[in-house]
């Protein structure tokens, strides 16, 4: 009960700060990369309290290889170390926590039949959110005004060891609200850019995934609680339109070089057996660190 009251108070604070510090008031730069990573770690821990980790070695290898390729072309944030995790749930989703912690559900892998190009499109979109600092922008503009941060810390009498937990809970509130439409379009553009530069045809990546999702489910929501995040995205047809528009511009500026990825294909071919029998039941939560650029 006490935790519920605490979380309810956070939601009230969010509403108050959103009123006191409107979007046009700039609060950029208040959250450092280090702070963002700490918040992301807290969010990651919270996710694993809610969901089991999917530990199939073939799926880990597949997502690991795809993520490594894409992260190698993500250059906007050299201080970020991308880590990928798989969640054992039927829900069809992928999402990024602050600081480069990216989650992919087993349900999404099943939905795309573990096709590397489709997985690449989704992961590239999520990397785009991190590269473009959408998490930080949302928190800074909506909550972390200079005065608002001081009020928040004072209200909860927080020490250094506690502010991360509070900030993480605030980040979860923002997760449930979803990104702005412009942030989603921005992440789509980054997704197109990353797959293009990595040598995947974006038409067969994010764009095809969006069309597949729309064809399969239309305006319905096949997703569970995690799906509330994806359900807040802009209409699929608009996303496809703008993604193709950006792809046309990109093709005029940069030559496309398609690249084969034999290790990815081997990982996929090795994942054809009954997946329910391969998931381990231990709770080791061994993280997969897929890429770390020089700082």
Residue 266 forms part of a structural domain: no
In a domain, 234, yes or no: yes
Measured at the CA of 32, the angle between CA 27 and CA 33, to 5 degrees, comes to 130
Q: What is the pLDDT of residue 287?
A: 35
pLDDT, the chain, mean:
75
Name the pLDDT band for 222 (thresholds 50, 70, 90): low
Residue of higher predicted confidence among 172 and 197: 197
- pLDDT mean over 177-181: 74
pLDDT at 292: 33
Note whether residue 260 is domain-resident.
no
In a domain, 269, yes or no: no
Residue 85 covered by a domain? yes
Highest mean pLDDT among 100-109, 208-217, 273-282: 100-109
DSSP per-residue letters across 24-92: TS--TTSS-HHHHHHHHHHHHHHHHHHSPBP--HHHHHHHHHHHHHHHTT--S-TT-EEEEEEE--S--
Specify if 290 maps to a domain.
no
106 Cβ contact list (under 8 Å, min separation 6): 54, 56, 59, 86, 87, 88, 89, 90, 275
Query: Each residue of 12-21: pLDDT tens digit?
Result: 444 544 444 4
For residue 281, tell me if it sits in a domain. no
Query: What total number of domains does the chain contain?
Result: 1
Q: Decide: 84 and 275 in contact? Cβ < 8 Å.
A: no
Give the separation between CA 59 and CA 295, rounded to whole angstroms. Answer: 29
pLDDT digit string (tens) for 161-172? 565 666 666 666
Residue 67 confidence (pLDDT) above 60: yes
Q: The dihedral of CA 85, 87, 88, 93: what is its sign?
A: negative
Residues in the chain: 295
Angle, helices 116-131/57-71, rounded to nearest 10 degrees: 50
Domain assignment of residue 264, yes or no: no
Do 64 and 290 form a contact (C-beta atoms < 8 A)? yes
Residue 76 has φ and ψ, to the nearest 5°, of -75, -25
What pLDDT score does 115 carry?
A: 95
Q: Which domain holds residue 147?
A: 2-254
Residue bearing the bigger pLDDT, 28 or 99? 99
Separation CA 145–CA 166 (nearest Å):
15
């Amino acid at each position: 009960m006490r935790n519920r009251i605490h979380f309810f108070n956070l939601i009230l604070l969010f509403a108050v700060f959103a009123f006191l510090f409107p979007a046009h008031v700039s609060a950029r730069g208040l959250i450092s990369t280090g702070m963002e990573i700490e918040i992301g770690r807290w969010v990651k821990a919270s996710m694993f309290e809610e969901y089991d980790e999917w530990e199939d070695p073939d799926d880990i290898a597949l997502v690991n290889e795809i993520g490594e390729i894409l992260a190698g072309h993500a250059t906007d944030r050299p201080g970020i170390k991308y880590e990928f995790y798989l969640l054992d749930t039927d829900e069809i989703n992928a999402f990024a926590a602050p600081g480069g912690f990216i989650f992919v559900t087993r349900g999404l892998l099943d939905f795309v039949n573990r096709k590397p190009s489709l997985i690449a499109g989704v992961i590239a979109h999520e990397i785009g959110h991190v590269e473009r600092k959408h998490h930080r922008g949302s928190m800074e503009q909506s909550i972390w005004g200079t005065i608002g941060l001081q009020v928040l810390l004072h209200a909860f009498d927080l020490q250094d060891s506690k502010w991360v937990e509070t900030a993480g809970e605030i980040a979860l509130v923002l997760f449930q609200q979803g990104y702005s439409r412009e942030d989603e379009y921005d992440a789509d553009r980054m997704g197109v850019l990353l797959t293009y530069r990595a040598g995947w045809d974006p038409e067969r990546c994010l764009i095809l995934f969006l069309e597949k999702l729309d064809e399969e489910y239309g305006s319905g929501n096949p997703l569970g609680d995690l799906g509330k995040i994806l359900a807040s995205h802009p209409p699929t047809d608009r996303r496809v339109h703008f993604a193709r528009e950006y792809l046309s511009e990109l093709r005029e500026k940069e030559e496309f070089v398609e690249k084969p990825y034999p290790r990815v294909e081997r990982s996929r071919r090795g994942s054809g057996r009954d997946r329910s029998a391969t998931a381990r039941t231990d709770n080791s939560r061994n993280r997969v660190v897929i890429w770390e650029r020089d700082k």
